């Protein structure tokens, strides 16, 4: 699913990934960032991007309804795309597990993309690493089931957003390290010094060995509009070493 997110980040820029776009789902992706880092906005943009590919619907799981729809997210809230995004709001870990376990009973076309926002809110109820591993494995199994339904050459992608701590702590680092085993592709969102009236982030995408790493500048204006530009090459490369003391955080 790194290519879906890459297309979102490349919208409105001249940047190219160097990898041909494909409808086939790539490896599951973990979207990481601190509080207020724009994870939900990027997830929603990815949902609209996938909804416009002419395949199945998009299943967007989150604990509570979005207070407002993010602005400047590529498809600009195209009504036809919005109709293909199905929101569900499991209020607890138990409800989320039930929803995933009963996915095979759902009627209608299988989703082409499964999104989960706020994974940390479901993990806080069960602190053990085995609980995080079980939930991650169940998410992958659900996406695999949907992929089987969609048929060969298509598949169902999976993107999960996880809020990380501002300061690296051992528990957070261990949790991220564990989840990285299940999500070979990752995208980190790191706060940068903002411009006047802007909230600016550095987005670093590692597609898990299936393409080049890339970086963008993601800025949010006071009205909530999101703008994306390529990260200046002279700024240097940001390390994505998964073995760092911050649990893989750049």
- Of 9, 72, 33, the C-alpha closest to 166 is 33
35 contacts 11 by C-beta, under 8 angstroms: no
3 state DSSP class of 250? coil
Is 41 part of a structural domain of the chain?
A: yes
Is 249 part of a structural domain of the chain?
A: no
- Of 7, 127, 21, the C-alpha closest to 73 is 7
pTM score > 0.75 for this model? yes
Is 216 part of a structural domain of the chain?
A: no
pLDDT at 22: 47
Is 123 part of a structural domain of the chain?
A: yes
Domain count, the chain: 1
Is 82 part of a structural domain of the chain?
A: yes
Per-residue pLDDT of the chain (250 residues; tens, 9 = 90+): 788 888 888 874 544 444 444 455 689 999 999 988 889 999 999 999 888 887 889 999 999 988 777 666 555 568 888 899 999 999 999 999 999 999 888 888 899 999 999 999 998 866 677 889 999 999 999 999 999 887 766 789 999 999 987 554 555 777 888 999 999 999 999 988 665 666 789 999 999 877 889 999 988 887 778 888 888 863 444 444 433 333 444 5
Question: Domain holding 31: CATH number?
Answer: 3.40.50.300
Structural domain that includes position 65: 2-15+23-186
pLDDT at 75: 54
Is 171 part of a structural domain of the chain?
A: yes
Is 181 part of a structural domain of the chain?
A: yes
Is 46 part of a structural domain of the chain?
A: yes
CA 130 to chain centre: 22
Give the angle 154-77-56 at the CA atoms, nearest 5°.
20
């Amino acid at each position: 699913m790194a290519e879906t997110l890459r297309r979102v980040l490349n919208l409105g820029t001249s940047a190219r990934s160097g990898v041909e776009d494909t409808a086939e789902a790539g490896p599951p992706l973990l979207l990481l960032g601190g509080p207020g880092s724009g994870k939900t906005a990027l997830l929603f943009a990815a949902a609209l991007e996938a909804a416009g590919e002419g395949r199945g619907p998009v299943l967007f799981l989150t604990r509570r309804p979005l207070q407002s729809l993010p602005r400047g997210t590529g498809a600009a809230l195209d009504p036809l795309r919005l109709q293909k995004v199905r929101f569900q709001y499991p209020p607890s870990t138990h409800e989320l597990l039930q929803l995933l376990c009963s996915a095979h009973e759902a009627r209608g076309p299988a989703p082409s993309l499964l999104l989960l926002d706020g994974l940390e809110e479901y993990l806080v109820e069960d602190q053990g690493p085995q609980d995080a591993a079980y939930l991650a494995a169940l998410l992958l199994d659900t996406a695999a089931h949907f992929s089987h339904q969609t048929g060969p050459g298509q598949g169902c992608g999976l993107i999960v957003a996880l809020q990380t701590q501002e300061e690296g702590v051992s528990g957070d680092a261990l949790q991220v390290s564990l989840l990285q085993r299940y999500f070979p592709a990752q995208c980190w969102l790191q706060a940068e010094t903002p411009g006047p009236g802007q909230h600016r982030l550095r987005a670093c995408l590692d597609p898990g060995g299936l393409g080049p790493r890339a970086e963008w500048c993601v800025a949010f204006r006071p009205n909530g509009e999101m703008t994306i530009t390529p990260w200046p090459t002279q700024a240097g490369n940001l390390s994505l070493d998964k073995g760092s003391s911050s649990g893989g955080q750049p």
